[in-house]
Amino acid sequence: MNINTETRVLGLLGNPVEHSLSPFLHNQVFALLGLNCVYLPFKVETGKLEDAVRGIRGLNLAGVNVTIPYKEAVIPYLDELSPEASACGAVNVIKNSAGGLTGYNTDGIGFLGALRQENITEHKRVLFIGAGGAARSLAATLANSGASHLYFLDPDQRRAAEAAEWLKKQYVCETVTDLMNEENFRAMAVNADLLINCSPVGMYPAVDESPVVSLDSVPDTAVLCDIIYNPLRTKLLQMGQERGLKCITGLSMFAHQAALTLKILLDADPPLEYMQSELVKRLELES
């Protein structure tokens, strides 16, 4: 590509960022659509988040994605939040408009798009492994689209309780929370028709790890999801396939989110099928 003074810069703030396929995917789309843009990964060390956000303004970046562990921590440094970001208390897209920074959240919308792509419309009882920013965003979207019972398990039981209390203040739903361990997972999984791993357990390079040891208590009709997309099929999803469960990888959600990011930051309409195809080819090449 021809980088010049008119090139618009987008990027990813997080730590780690080495595993992310966002730079690959977005730069592929820019080349396909002939956009004079470049997407870069920015590893933000602990204590440097405020400086990184100032850099968006100072370097006039078009905007960035935000990933672990800064989705919630970045909010105090922004000027405005979209309704979705405000509702879930987490941001994964920041748009720079003449130095004014607006935070958005595409996690929930992207996940719902992935469910609809798989023709999954029923999700009354949802179990979340992990109760961070991504889980909150997904929970808010699912509660708003018909989920009536939401269960949260997290290694930090207080975080699970806070997520549940926050959700109940905004939506009519029942919530249950507990400490994430095998016993509590088995007890809650019995009642779930949708299980979602929102924790980083199993993410590259720790591909042999799973947040649970067994899926024996999961109903045969349940749908198992993992928002991790690298590897394409996590250890958890491999276990689900062995159990005969319907499994959804994080790739579809990731592609939907990436498309939304480019719509927000560049008002572009990227080809979703192309993006998913490119991601599959890249992940299969790396496996």
Q: How far apart are CA 47 and CA 57, in angstroms?
A: 18
Q: How far apart are CA 28 and CA 38, in angstroms?
A: 10
71, 124, 168, 281: which is the annotated catalytic residue?
A: 71
Q: How far apart are CA 179 and CA 210, in angstroms?
A: 16
Whole-number Cα distances in Å, 38 to 76, 103, 136, 182:
27, 20, 30, 44
DSSP symbol at 137? H
Q: How far apart are CA 46 and CA 69, in angstroms?
A: 9
**Phi, psi angle pair for 94, to nearest 5°:** -120, 125
Q: Are 26 and 39 in contact (CB under 8 A)?
A: yes
Q: How many residues does the chain have?
A: 287
**Phi, psi angle pair for 221, to nearest 5°:** -90, 0
Q: Are 217 and 186 in contact (CB under 8 A)?
A: yes
Annotation says 71 is catalytic: yes
Please choose, from the candidates 132, 124, 218, the residue with its C-alpha nearest in 3D space to the C-alpha of residue 174.
124
Q: Are 188 and 125 in contact (CB under 8 A)?
A: no
Q: Two tokens at 91?
A: 């941001």
Q: How far apart are CA 131 and CA 155, in angstroms?
A: 9
Q: How far apart are CA 195 and CA 177, in angstroms?
A: 14
Q: How far apart are CA 41 and CA 61, in angstroms?
A: 13
Catalytic residue annotation: 71
